[in-house]
């Protein structure tokens, strides 16, 4: 039987890595990820977790150590946040292009300067194109469930890709939540042992990350792109299997009262829960509004997004990151790109908000929706606004 | 590798572009980087072997008569052999000549 435990989400993530029997953890502490690696270190030191814990001198080394471990055939886990993720940046491309299924929780944090330890999605968006599978979690349970799924998806022979699970710094990482933990035997059954088909081994030498001259580089990138695209099928199968086993169901795009809604709001991560409260209130007042939550960020769920929003008149996208000098929020610009060729599509209105830990309350979401409707009626949706900024 | 690199499609690549065959760097033609090639004048050559020692590519070999020549499949045309050859037996000529 599954156990229901009141636990801080960071600690729950470490427990999930333990349940998944991670062989190697290489990590460097950084707020707001610290509690995850602290708890992992404790579990290993107390002999509760049979894992090689590698303390490293930086995130760059953390990811590099993870690559080596994964290449040798070890199930590998790490976690980071904000600046730490940026320091890993170049090594992350190596993980995906060498097809090493490292699992990493990213406790989303704003980037300096000014120094901010609080949450937003600036760190995630900067690693958007690193070729990792990326999933956003909305609450602690989703985080734990998707850490388990991440090992199964990433290590699948048809995939062999690293996976990032994103959770909002403090909003999720430091909250104490009731979390259902499956039995060890259930997890063992759900996640088969990791077997890289060609690991580093003296008996069968291989070269990983070799030199790729112009004559072959484009082919390697095409193979990588096709592989990441194809991983979606395996992700869907995994979530389906997870649902059958544990009775919690996940999909790339979640719709909340969106079927007949004229106006839709789109959020990612923990803001979805607050937004739902706002949607409930507005629907109670007879407003035709609904919510779309984007869970799967890479590979991008084009089909599901198009399907979810096609009947709406206006789609209001809230980004928690800013693409400076660009089209506003990166999520909004991708949604616009996904819908551009569609015959039937809503007007897309972009907002950037919740930067560097700035809260958006249910009343705030209501304001965003009302302002979005106003913008769509004026036809000035090519501009974006930073919500709540003092002029 | 079963096919030459230039004929491999993206479907032919191993997982993560892993190289499974040892020593296949020898298939890489660095000779096409060359803009000048070394010409060896055996009338001036004293068979000292300095060109062989200094060649950073390791592509200069000695023939049965004791003279030296460069393997143009690998020679990048750097000209170090010509510079180090004090009897001036090696000259660099542009590829188009």
The CATH number of residue B52's host domain is: 3.30.70.20
A197 and A122 part of one domain = yes
A72 and A110 part of one domain = yes
Q: Report the C-alpha gap between A63 and A54 in whole angstroms.
A: 11
Query: In chain A, which residues have their Cβ closer than 8 Å to the Cβ of B22?
Result: 205, 207
A241 and A260 part of one domain = no
pLDDT at res. B3: 79
**Does the distance separating the beta carbons of B18 and A207 come in below 8 Å?**
yes
A231 and A306 part of one domain = no
Q: At A77, list the tokens.
A: 């886990």
Query: In chain A, which residues have their Cβ closer than 8 Å to the Cβ of B28?
Result: 211, 213
**Average pLDDT, consecutive stretches of 10 residues, N- to C-terminus, chain A (391 residues):** 93 98 98 98 98 98 98 98 98 98 98 97 98 98 98 98 98 97 98 95 93 92 98 98 98 95 97 97 98 98 97 97 93 97 96 97 98 92 90 93
pLDDT at res. B2: 63
List the single best residue of B15, B24, B30, B31 to mutate versus A (max A Cβ within 10 A): B15
Query: In chain B, which residues have their Cβ closer than 8 Å to the Cβ of A160?
Result: 15-16
CA distance to partner chain B, nearest, from residue A83 (Å): 27
Domain-embedded: residue A43 = yes
Domain-embedded: residue B11 = no
Nearest to B5 among A216, A222, A226 (CB): A216
CA distance to partner chain B, nearest, from residue A159 (Å): 10
Contacts 24+ apart (CB under 8 A), A143-146: A143/A9, A143/A12, A143/A13, A143/A16, A143/A105, A143/A167, A143/A172, A144/A9, A144/A12, A144/A13, A144/A15, A144/A16, A144/A179, A144/A181, A145/A242, A145/A246, A145/A248, A145/A250, A146/A250
Tens of pLDDT, residue by residue over B37-86, are 999 999 999 999 999 999 999 999 999 999 999 999 999 999 999 999 99
Q: Report the C-alpha gap between A285 and A300 in whole angstroms.
A: 34
A146 and A260 part of one domain = no
Q: Report ipTM for this prediction.
A: 0.88
Q: For residue A27, what are the β-bridge partners?
A: A55
Domain-embedded: residue A259 = yes
CA distance to partner chain B, nearest, from residue A214 (Å): 10
Q: Which domain holds residue A313?
A: 253-386
pLDDT at res. A366: 98
Q: Which domain holds residue B60?
A: 29-94
Instruction: Tell me how many degrees the CA angle A159-A33-A272 measures, rounded to the nearest 5.
Output: 75
């Amino acid at each position: 039987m599954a156990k229901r435990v009141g636990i801080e989400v960071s600690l729950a993530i470490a427990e999930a890595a333990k349940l998944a029997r991670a062989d190697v953890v290489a990590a460097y502490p950084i707020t707001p990820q610290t509690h995850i690696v602290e708890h992992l270190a404790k579990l290993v030191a107390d002999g509760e977790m049979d894992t090689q814990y590698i303390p490293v001198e930086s995130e760059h080394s953390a990811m590099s150590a993870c690559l080596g471990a994964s290449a040798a055939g070890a199930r590998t886990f790490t976690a980071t946040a904000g600046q730490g993720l940026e320091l890993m940046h170049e090594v992350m491309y190596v993980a995906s292009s060498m097809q090493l299924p490292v699992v990493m929780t990213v406790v989303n944090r704003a980037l300096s300067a000014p120094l901010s330890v609080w949450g937003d999605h600036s760190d995630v968006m900067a690693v958007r194109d690193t070729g990792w599978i990326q999933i956003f979690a909305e609450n602690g349970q989703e985080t734990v469930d998707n850490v388990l799924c991440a090992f199964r998806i990433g290590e699948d022979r048809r995939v062999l890709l690293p996976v990032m699970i994103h959770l909002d710094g403090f909003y999720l990482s430091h909250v104490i939540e009731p979390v259902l933990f499956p039995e060890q035997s259930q997890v063992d059954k759900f996640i088969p042992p990791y077997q890289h088909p060609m690991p580093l081994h003296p008996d069968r030498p291989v070269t990983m990350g070799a030199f790729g001259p112009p004559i072959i580089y484009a082919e390697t990138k095409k193979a990588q792109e096709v592989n990441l695209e194809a991983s979606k099928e395996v992700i869907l199968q995994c979530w389906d299997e997870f649902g059958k086993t544990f009775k919690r169901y996940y999909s790339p795009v979640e719709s909340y009262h969106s079927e007949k809604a004229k106006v839709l709001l789109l959020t990612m991560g923990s803001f979805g829960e607050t937004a739902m409260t706002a949607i409930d209130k507005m629907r109670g007042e007879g407003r035709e509004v609904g919510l779309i939550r984007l869970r799967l960020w890479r590979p991008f769920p084009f089909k599901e997004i198009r399907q979810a929003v096609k009947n709406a008149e206006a789609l209001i996208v809230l980004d928690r990151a800013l693409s400076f000098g660009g089209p506003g929020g990166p999520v909004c610009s991708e949604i616009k790109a996904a819908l551009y060729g569609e015959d039937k599509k809503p007007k897309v209105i972009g907002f950037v908000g919740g930067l560097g830990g700035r809260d958006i309350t249910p009343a705030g979401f209501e304001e965003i929706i009302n302002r979005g409707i106003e913008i769509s009626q004026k036809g000035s949706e090519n501009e974006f606004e930073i919500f709540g900024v003092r002029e | 590798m079963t096919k030459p690199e230039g004929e491999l499609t993206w479907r032919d690549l191993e997982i993560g572009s892993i190289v499974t065959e040892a020593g296949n760097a020898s298939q890489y033609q660095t000779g096409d980087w060359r803009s000048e090639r070394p010409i060896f004048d055996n009338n001036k050559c004293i068979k000292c072997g300095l060109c062989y020692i200094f060649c950073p590519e390791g592509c200069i070999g000695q023939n049965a008569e004791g003279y030296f020549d460069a393997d143009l499949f690998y020679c990048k045309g750097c000209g170090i052999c010509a510079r180090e050859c004090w009897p001036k037996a090696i000259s660099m000529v542009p590829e188009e000549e």
